[in-house]
Amino acid sequence: MNKFAYLFACSLVAGSTVCLAAAPAPLGSGIETQYIDAKVRVQDDFYQHLNGGWLATVQIPADKGRFGSFDKLNDDTQEQLRGLVENLSRNRMARTPDQQKIVDLYASFMDEAAIERVGTEPLKRAFTRIDGFTDKTQLAALLAHYNRVGVQTLLGTGVHQDAKDSTQYVFDIGQSGLGLPDRDYYLQDEARLKTIREQYTLHIARMFSLAGVTNASEQATLVANFETALARIQWSRVENRDPVKTYNKVPLTQLAALAPGFNWTAYLADTGVTGRANSVIISQPSYITELDKLLQQTPIATLQAYFRWHALSSFAPYMGKAFVDERFAFAGKTLRGIEENRPRWKRGISLVDGAIGEGLGQMYVAQYFPPESKKRMDQLVRNLIAAYKLSIDKLDWMGPETRKRAQAKLAKFSVKIGYPEKWRDYSALQVVARDVVGNVLRSNEFDYNRDLN
């Protein structure tokens, strides 16, 4: 063990030195010296000195728009997860309920032939719901449904800790519903953004054509124009970075004053907020007010086209090859400059990881993170906390009361290494063989309900 590694692995506990057990082989520093650029002096450009060789030789993979050390780590992990899932799929021995769901979800995505046979059937179910939207009093229920199943529309929702009271959770409602990454894509006059807007409208039309929507070009124009109107009333990124400006706790009884034309009673009931909270956070109040006005002015036919588009856009990654390819051609190549879509297995593993992440994580831990590894890291962190405790007592720039509070804060530190003590329960998640779109929607709603609860 080299000197640096030895010092790092040791700490002070209760006045005595405690060291981790020596590794069976000498440890290195972890610095990849082959990438050092010796032509650049360290004092002139430390970053270039350490990374110049890597920057000069690395190739960004064709399925990525960026690449760094964490991307490499993620790629390595994806390969490991693929091995676990595919081995589990081949093994007919007894599986746990979570493992069966992992197998069925992965298989439902990887079975391209079955997906092609299903065709646009998943869309027809969604479009039937939208066709039934013929009165604006039904809008609240439609929005609540899409919030639950993870389809992006006019209102974005989320559950998180209250920024002004971390002991409480809050339900947040904010601006959403744009198909392009940001309002500026619709509003700025840069040549590149103008080209993207034109390509976006054509992309919507092509996707509508694939879905069998009549008058696809006209429908696409309706969507693009409506989203432009949405962009005009949305807050900028600078405004949204202001934690004070975006913290607006509104009692449920006062929501009608923000948007009197919107059926808040139906929306709060269908989203499940009613009975669970007395108030919500409205991130952008002016957006809610202006959206109410915009919706009153917008024909139902335009709103139907808009909802069809966002249902289609959400489902497209899980549909047939024509939909996947068209979506990537715009979202991957045009928007992000990525040359190739990720291999299908990578997209399948990402789907499983997002839907049943801790179930997959249990398998990963069993294979790649044995108990002794967790024990070693737990001990290392305990040593660090003990060192902090001693350090706080000796800091001359802290007064007695400050030291007392610092120690109290340190005592509340929760050590979470590798995986949770209690794994997540997926028993309420329904995974159906050969129903990938349905599985995605059910998974999204499963997560929604967990946050709501």
pLDDT in tens, 365-409: 999 999 999 999 999 999 999 999 999 999 999 999 999 999 999
| pLDDT, position 29 | 77
Q: Which residues contact 9 (CB under 8 A, 6 or more apart)?
A: 1, 19, 20, 380
Mean pLDDT of 341-359: 97
User: Same structural domain for residues 173 and 251?
Assistant: yes
DSSP per position, 340-378: SPPPHHHHHHHHHHHHSHHHHHHHHHHHH--HHHHHHHH
User: Same structural domain for residues 40 and 154?
Assistant: no
Judge whether 427 lies within some domain. Answer: no
Question: Which of 251, 286, 318 lies at the terminal end of a domain, its last residue?
Answer: 318
Judge whether 420 lies within some domain. Answer: no
Residue 17: which pLDDT band, with cuts at 50, 70 and 90?
very low
pLDDT (tens digit, 9 = 90+) per residue, 240-294?
Answer: 999 999 999 999 999 999 999 999 999 999 999 999 999 999 999 999 999 999 9
Range of the domain at 233: 120-318
CA dihedral 229, 230, 235, 236 (to 10 degrees): -70
User: Same structural domain for residues 37 and 180?
Assistant: no
User: Same structural domain for residues 297 and 157?
Assistant: yes
Number of domains the chain contains: 3
User: Same structural domain for residues 382 and 311?
Assistant: no
pLDDT (tens digit, 9 = 90+) per residue, 126-172?
Answer: 999 999 999 999 999 999 999 999 999 999 999 999 999 999 999 99
User: Same structural domain for residues 43 and 124?
Assistant: no
The Cα–Cα gap between 453 and 68 comes to 37
Q: What CATH number does the domain containing 168 carry?
A: 1.10.1380.10
Question: Which of 58, 81, 106 lies at the terminal end of a domain, its last residue?
Answer: 58
The Cα–Cα gap between 437 and 120 comes to 11
User: Same structural domain for residues 247 and 379?
Assistant: no
| pLDDT, position 421 | 87
User: Same structural domain for residues 14 and 157?
Assistant: no
User: Same structural domain for residues 178 and 308?
Assistant: yes
Judge whether 90 lies within some domain. Answer: no
User: Same structural domain for residues 385 and 302?
Assistant: no
